[in-house]
Amino acid sequence: MKHASILGTGSYLPQRQLTNFDLEKMVNTSDEWITTRTGIHTRRIAGRGEENYRIAAGAARKALDMAGLHAEEIDLLVVATMTPHMMMPSSACFVQAEIGADNAHAYDINAACTGFLYGLDLADKYVVSRPDMKILLIGSETLSARVNWQDRNTCILFGDGAGACVMSSREGSRGVVDSNLRSDGRLWNLLYMHGPASLNPDLVQNDHNGCYIQMIGRDVFKYAVKAMEEAVVELLDRNGVTISDINLMIPHQANIRILNKLMERLGVPREKVYINVDKYGNTSAASIPISLDEANRKGILRRGDLLLFCSFGGGFTWGSMLMQW
């Protein structure tokens, strides 16, 4: 049975950088306060001409170029996002038009920060069914459009960006080994974002106070670390793999405290974990593919390496995945 492998990666980061010192002028905070609590120094903020679908298209073009493919060769285009350009059409349809992927069918998925992992699992299922299928998977977010810039507890965390990969079966590569995905909708109110206000008076939400990210950070931290640890341990045990077998772990870049606690509980050394949260903040569904592309272009990844992905996001959604490079 052939599984999905990654043929090419790409990423796009908006030009504007928002530093902690910039945020000091906007809300009651400081560089020291932000750094010690999150590990974040800067984040990217989308500007004119950098709408969600356009930064997604920028990442997609780079991934296609690395894979040596033309956009017309793509059979399926999926965008993982919780900040789409419009409610309808999907961001994936906008990307399709932007890059000329005329032969693909396209749609979005929303699993918040876990969206890209859900997308990798989805792509693998397609490739198992049809090994010659070529899939363009993108994680893209413009979170700056969906944060409350007066709330210092959330606005300091998030950034914009996009990451992409082209997937299909590939000789000599095992690709996706296994995944372990979970969700728990009972805990939605710890991390959520309202949609547009209802125009039907019978469906109006009484607590609707705006379309921006809201969370109870302390509770999210507790659940995130425990859930990702369990998802990773279950996955490794099921596949007869230990942490020492992992060549590189690429976790969702939420904040440094979550990452440090996760590394401690899993017993994974810092040198085996890719971290760039200091440069980009939390880019939700884009964080893993941006990290993957950076690691790939730096030459960190070697054919045959065993990679471990893990993530946690609103829903709650969370999960882990093993992939052979």
Residue 154 sits in the same domain as residue 182:
no
pTM: 0.96
The alpha carbon of residue 229 and the mean position of all alpha carbons in its chain are separated, in whole angstroms, by 18
pLDDT at 171: 80
Whether residue 105 lies in the annotated active site: no
Whether residue 252 lies in the annotated active site: yes
> How far is residue 276's CA from residue 267's CA, in Å, rounded to a whole number?
20
Full domain range(s) for residue 194: 176-324
197: tokens are: 């206000």
Q: Kindly indicate the confidence band of residue 174, based on its pLDDT and cuts at 50, 70 and 90.
A: confident
Angle of CA points 303, 304, 306, to nearest 5°: 120
Residue 211 sits in the same domain as residue 306:
yes
Work out how many domains the chain is built from and give that number.
2
From the candidates 20, 180, 255, 282, which is the catalytic residue? 282
Residue 57 sits in the same domain as residue 114:
yes
Please give the average per-residue pLDDT across 136-146, as a whole number: 98
User: What would the DSSP string read from start to end of 41-101?
Assistant: -EEEE--TT--HHHHHHHHHHHHHHHHT--GGG-SEEEEE-SS-S-SSS-HHHHHHHHHT-
C-alpha R_g of the chain: 19
Relative to beta strand 175-183, strand 317-324 is: antiparallel
Whether residue 113 lies in the annotated active site: yes
Residue 133 sits in the same domain as residue 220:
no
pLDDT at 318: 98
Residue 266 sits in the same domain as residue 282:
yes
> How far is residue 270's CA from residue 208's CA, in Å, rounded to a whole number?
41
Residue 162 sits in the same domain as residue 183:
no
Task: Indicate which CATH number applies to the domain containing 297.
Answer: 3.40.47.10
In the listed set 172, 193, 222, which residue is the last one of a domain according to the structure? 172
Residue 84 sits in the same domain as residue 138:
yes
Amino acid at 149: W
- Tell me which residue has tokens 């120094």: 41
From the candidates 20, 93, 252, 255, which is the catalytic residue? 252
> Is the model's pLDDT at 156 over the cut of 90?
yes
pLDDT at 1: 80
Q: Residues of the chain with pLDDT > 90: what percent?
A: 96
Residue 39 sits in the same domain as residue 134:
yes
Per the CB < 8 A criterion, the answer to whether 166 and 67 are in contact is yes
In the listed set 129, 145, 172, which residue is the last one of a domain according to the structure? 172
Residue 27 sits in the same domain as residue 148:
yes
Mean pLDDT, the chain, rounded, equals 96
Residue 143 sits in the same domain as residue 232:
no
Closest of 27, 281, 48 to residue 153, by C-alpha: 27
Residue pLDDT, tens place only, 26-76: 999 999 999 999 999 999 999 999 999 999 999 999 999 999 999 999 999
Relative to beta strand 317-324, strand 76-80 is: unpaired
Buried-state track 297-309, b at ≥16 Cβ within 10 A, e below 16: eeeebeeeebbbb
- Tell me which residue has tokens 């299928």: 133
In the listed set 149, 172, 195, which residue is the last one of a domain according to the structure? 172
Least confident segment among 115-124, 133-142, 203-212, 265-274: 203-212
Residue 168 sits in the same domain as residue 211:
no
Residue 180 sits in the same domain as residue 319:
yes
Closest of 147, 163, 156, 142 to residue 46, by C-alpha: 142
> Is the model's pLDDT at 98 over the cut of 80?
yes
From the candidates 3, 110, 113, 310, which is the catalytic residue? 113
Angle of CA points 267, 272, 273, to nearest 5°: 90
